[in-house]
Structure 1
Amino acid sequence: MTGRQTTPDAEGGRGTDAESGRGTDAESGRSAEGRPRAGTEGERGADTEGGQRADAEEGRGTDTEAGQGADAEAGRGADAAARLLTGLFAPQVLVIALPPLVGLMADGPAGAAWGLLASALCGGVPAAVILAGVRSGRLDSHHLVDRASRTGPLLVAVAAVVVALVLLVVLGAPRLLVATVTAMLAALAVTVPITLRWKISFHAAVSAGTVVVLAQVLPAAPTLAAGALLVAAICWARVRVTHHTPAQVVAGAAVGTGTAWAALSAFGL
């Protein structure tokens, strides 16, 4: 009977062991449960950060592509504008259009008729020679991009302008028209020798000279202001299409302005 009795120490020991076991198991269980939860939170954080980085990289790539596309589109627009300016204000176009306008403003319909004569000789004859050269393949284009190919057409232009000037003087054309054709000859006298060794811009020279002449028959201040902007745009276009350097267009504009001013001044205009 004595062996079945349980002492308080035994009861306490079992209680303590049970409580300790339950406590340890509970703590161990919480730790075991906690570890997977911590790992899951870490994985979710890593995934989120990785996704954000991927989104940021994708966004930067999209922005870069959009920027490159916009730059390419702007470049194409600038090239198209440069080609348009180059064609509209080609030397042949201005030389053909200027004399009739000057003659009309200076002496009415009779002056315009004189201007058409000058236009046919100074602009029409060289333009026909250049067109024939382009069609035969001897010339690259009506802009005479290849400097070496310029000599023949320019000599034809010089001869045509001399003939026109002689006819205008002998037949008594208006003084401003004679001065205009003289300015053309003076510009050729300077630019032709230069272009044999260096590709000076005829677009710049002719457009600048045209502005100076037009300032004689139109209100001077606004004509010169607007004309300067136009000449600058033409110079930009010639550089943009890579047919000239900045120095070549600046030199051309200076020659055109100087020879036109000198010729008009010689006639007292």
Structure 2
Amino acid sequence: MTSPAAPAPVRARPAALVAEVFAPAPLVLCLLVLAGWRSAGWTGVLWGLGTAVLVASLPMLVLRVLARRGMVDGHVVRSRAQRLPVYAATGVLTALVLAAELRLGAPVLVPVTTAFVLLGLLVLLALTLRWKVSAHVAMAACWAVGLGALTAPWAVPLAAPVLVLVALSRVRTGDHTPGQTVAGALIGVLIGLADTAAVISPG
């Protein structure tokens, strides 16, 4: 059994708050809702919300329960070894949700966005076999780029400070090294750009 993580030192609490507010789950929800809205208005929003509940909110809820029971070292899962089954299980769940979306005829940008969430999970899973790259920073970078594709290009520079804050917060709390945050940012930007290309491509 894993002991619950100790509370963050007072000096690190603002950084921990940044990591909570801009955690992957709410950023995934934001992108999926925007993708749904752009595809099919309020009907698409419902698809985006439903997808986000399954692929982001549900895994986070499960992690919080596991953390309370001492089965993982915290809901952010600091241990690299413990992250592997988390990424794998979330990836399987996301793949099943994606298959259901395609089967049920979800508005096109919702499964497109879900597919890139799955891609991000698979990349993080592969890298985590050897190195603990920051998933927070990867998702923040993907969100910043994806926001521009789903709204307007000027949204990217407005969202960029969030990426910087998240990266600094992950180093400040001691969860990642600067190199791990830079790697996360590069992964997120690349996946965000690929998502952008899919969003703006005809048909």
What TM-score, normalized by structure 2, do the two folds share? Answer: 0.87
Q: CA deviation at 1:263?
A: 3.4
Matches within 5 A, 1:1-269: 79-221=12-154, 223-266=155-198, 268-269=200-201
User: What is the rounded CA distance, in whole Å, between the counterparts of 1:97 and 1:127 in structure 2?
Assistant: 15
Larger % of helix: which? 1
User: What is the rounded CA distance, in whole Å, between the counterparts of 2:48 and 2:199 in structure 1?
Assistant: 18
User: What is the rounded CA distance, in whole Å, between the counterparts of 1:131 and 1:234 in structure 2?
Assistant: 20
Relative to 1, partners in 2 of residues 1:219 and 1:267: Cα closer, same or farther, differing over 3 Å?
A: closer
User: What is the rounded CA distance, in whole Å, between the counterparts of 1:91 and 1:267 in structure 2?
Assistant: 20
User: What is the rounded CA distance, in whole Å, between the counterparts of 2:69 and 2:103 in structure 1?
Assistant: 37
User: What is the rounded CA distance, in whole Å, between the counterparts of 1:210 and 1:110 in structure 2?
Assistant: 22
Q: What is the letter of the counterpart of residue 71 of structure 2? A: R
User: What is the rounded CA distance, in whole Å, between the counterparts of 2:29 and 2:74 in structure 1?
Assistant: 18
User: What is the rounded CA distance, in whole Å, between the counterparts of 2:141 and 2:62 in structure 1?
Assistant: 24
Q: What is the letter of the counterpart of residue 258 of structure 1? A: L
Q: What is the letter of the counterpart of residue 246 of structure 1? A: P
Partner of 1:44: none
Q: CA deviation at 1:120?
A: 1.9
User: What is the rounded CA distance, in whole Å, between the counterparts of 2:28 and 2:93 in structure 1?
Assistant: 12
- Give the unaligned 5+ runs of structure 1: 1-74
Contact preservation (8 Å) 1:208, 1:256: yes
The count of residues paired between Structure 1 and Structure 2 equals 193
Contact preservation (8 Å) 2:66, 2:72: yes
Identity across the alignment (%): 32
Partner of 1:13: none
User: What is the rounded CA distance, in whole Å, between the counterparts of 2:134 and 2:141 in structure 1?
Assistant: 11
Q: CA deviation at 1:266?
A: 4.0
Work out which structure has the larger RCO, using CA pairs closer than 8 Å and 6 or more positions apart in sequence.
2
Contact preservation (8 Å) 1:98, 1:119: no
Partner of 1:43: none
Partner of 1:220, secondary structure, is coil
Contact preservation (8 Å) 2:149, 2:199: no
> Cα RMSD between the aligned structures?
1.9
What TM-score, normalized by structure 1, do the two folds share? Answer: 0.67
- Give the unaligned 5+ runs of structure 2: 1-8
Q: What is the letter of the counterpart of residue 163 of structure 1? A: L
Q: CA deviation at 1:127?
A: 1.5
User: What is the rounded CA distance, in whole Å, between the counterparts of 1:92 and 1:217 in structure 2?
Assistant: 18
Contact preservation (8 Å) 1:126, 1:157: yes
Contact preservation (8 Å) 1:85, 1:234: yes
Larger Rg: 1
